Amino acid sequence: MANEEMGDAGPFVRADQQEAADGHGSAGDAAGRHRPGRHHARRRRAELAGEAGLGSAGQRLSGRRRWLWWSALGLIVAGALGLRLWYLFAWRHPMEIAGDAFYYHHAANLLVDGRGWPNPYDLINDDRYVPDAQHPPMTSLLLAIPSLFGLRGFLDHQIFLCGIGALSVLVVGLAGRRIAGPATGLVAATIAAVYPGMWLPDPLVMSETPGILACALVMLACYRLWDRRRPIDVVWVALALAAAMLTRAELALLAILLVTPLVLRLPALSWRRRLGYLGIAAGVSAAAISPWVGYNLSRFEEPEFISSGLGVTLAVTHCDATYHGDFIGWWSLPCADTLVPDPPTEVSQRDRAFREAALDYIGDNSDRLPVVSAARLGRTWGVFRPWQQARLDTIEARPEEITKVAIVSLWCLAPLGAVGVGLAWRRRRPVLPLLATPLVLSVTSALVYGNTRFRAVAEPSVVLMASITIGAVVTAAASSARRGRGPAPDEASFPPFPTTDPHAPVPPTTTGSPADASTTATRPLRLT
Query: Per-residue pLDDT tens for 209-267?
Result: 999 999 999 999 999 999 999 999 999 999 999 999 999 999 999 999 999 999 999 99
Q: CA dihedral in degrees (235, 241, 246, 250; nearest 10)?
A: -160
Of the ranges 11-20, 234-243, 335-344, the best mean pLDDT one: 234-243
Q: What is the pLDDT of residue 479?
A: 84
In tens, the pLDDT along 399-457 reads 999 999 999 999 999 999 999 999 999 999 999 999 999 999 999 999 999 999 999 99
Q: What is the pLDDT of residue 521?
A: 34
pLDDT at 397 over 60: yes
pLDDT at 462 over 70: yes
Secondary structure of residue 318 in the 3-state scheme: coil
Closest CA to 488 of 75, 64, 4: 64
DSSP calls for 88-157: HHHHSSS----HHHHHHHHHHHHHHTT--SB-HHHHHHH----B--SS-SHHHHHHHHHHHTT--SHHHH
**What span, in angstroms and rounded, lies between the C-alpha atoms of 208 and 194?**
17
For 173, counting Cβ atoms within 10 Å of its Cβ (0-12 exposed, 13-18 middle, 19+ buried), the class is buried
Q: What percent of the chain has pLDDT over 70?
A: 80
Q: What is the pLDDT of residue 486?
A: 54
- What pTM was computed for the model? 0.83
pLDDT at 9 over 60: no
**What span, in angstroms and rounded, lies between the C-alpha atoms of 520 and 526?**
19
Q: What is the pLDDT of residue 62?
A: 75
- The CA-atom distances, in angstroms, between 318 and each of 12, 308, 341, 354 are 51, 18, 15, 10
Q: What is the pLDDT of residue 490?
A: 42
Is there a contact between 85 and 162 (Cβ–Cβ < 8 Å)?
yes
Terminal C-alpha separation, the chain: 24
pLDDT at 350 over 70: yes
Q: What is the pLDDT of residue 63?
A: 85
- The CA-atom distances, in angstroms, between 429 and each of 97, 178, 226, 359 are 44, 10, 9, 40
User: Which ranges in 251-399 belong to alpha helices (H)?
Assistant: 254, 260-264, 271-297, 310-315, 320-323, 334-339, 347-364, 369-380, 386-392
Rounded mean pLDDT, 478-490: 65
**What span, in angstroms and rounded, lies between the C-alpha atoms of 93 and 157?**
12
Is there a contact between 176 and 185 (Cβ–Cβ < 8 Å)?
yes
More confident residue, 492 or 109: 109
Q: What is the pLDDT of residue 482?
A: 78
Look at 254-258, 274-278, 512-516 and tell me which has the smallest mean pLDDT.
512-516
pLDDT at 13 over 50: no
Look at 57-71, 149-163, 379-393 and tell me which has the smallest mean pLDDT.
57-71
pLDDT at 8 over 80: no
Q: What is the pLDDT of residue 56?
A: 30
**What span, in angstroms and rounded, lies between the C-alpha atoms of 170 and 69?**
12
Phi/psi of residue 412, nearest 5 degrees: -75, -40
Q: Which amino acid is at 497?
A: F
Q: List, in sequence order, every residue forming a beta bridge with 292; answer none if it has no partner.
A: none
**What span, in angstroms and rounded, lies between the C-alpha atoms of 515 and 506?**
10
Q: CA dihedral in degrees (184, 81, 237, 197; nearest 10)?
A: -70
Burial 338-352 (b: 16+ CB within 10 A, else e): ebbeebeeebbebbb
Closest CA to 215 of 250, 180, 181: 250
Secondary structure of residue 267 in the 3-state scheme: coil
pLDDT at 6 over 60: no
**What span, in angstroms and rounded, lies between the C-alpha atoms of 79 and 105?**
26
Would the CA dihedral through 464, 469, 470, 476 be positive or negative? positive
More confident residue, 17 or 437: 437
In tens, the pLDDT along 279-296 reads 999 999 999 999 999 999
Q: Chain-wide mean pLDDT for the chain? A: 85
DSSP calls for 21-60: HHT-SHHHHHHTPPPP-HHHHHHHHHHHHHHTT--HHHHH
- The length of the chain in residues reads 528
Q: What is the pLDDT of residue 496?
A: 46
Q: At 485, is the pLDDT very low, low, confident or very high (cuts 50, 70, 90)?
A: low
Look at 134-143, 359-368, 492-501 and tell me which has the smallest mean pLDDT.
492-501
Q: At 360, is the pLDDT very low, low, confident or very high (cuts 50, 70, 90)?
A: very high
Would the CA dihedral through 8, 466, 418, 222 be positive or negative? positive
Would the CA dihedral through 113, 119, 121, 127 be positive or negative? negative
Q: What is the pLDDT of residue 31?
A: 40
Residues 6+ apart with CB under 8 A from 431: 421, 424, 425
Residues 6+ apart with CB under 8 A from 173: 73, 76, 77, 185, 186, 188, 189, 192
**What span, in angstroms and rounded, lies between the C-alpha atoms of 197 and 417?**
15
Q: What does the DSSP 8-state code read for residue 2?
A: -
Closest CA to 209 of 233, 192, 221: 192
Is there a contact between 444 and 489 (Cβ–Cβ < 8 Å)?
no
Secondary structure of residue 354 in the 3-state scheme: helix
Q: What percent of the chain has pLDDT over 90?
A: 77
**What span, in angstroms and rounded, lies between the C-alpha atoms of 152 and 144?**
8
Closest CA to 469 of 411, 525, 405: 525
More confident residue, 160 or 510: 160
- The CA-atom distances, in angstroms, between 247 and each of 134, 202, 222, 308, 456 are 12, 14, 18, 13, 12
Q: What is the pLDDT of residue 157?
A: 98
**What span, in angstroms and rounded, lies between the C-alpha atoms of 419 and 433?**
16
Residues 6+ apart with CB under 8 A from 276: none
**What span, in angstroms and rounded, lies between the C-alpha atoms of 58 and 50?**
9
Q: At 484, is the pLDDT very low, low, confident or very high (cuts 50, 70, 90)?
A: low
DSSP calls for 218-230: HHHHHHHHHHH--
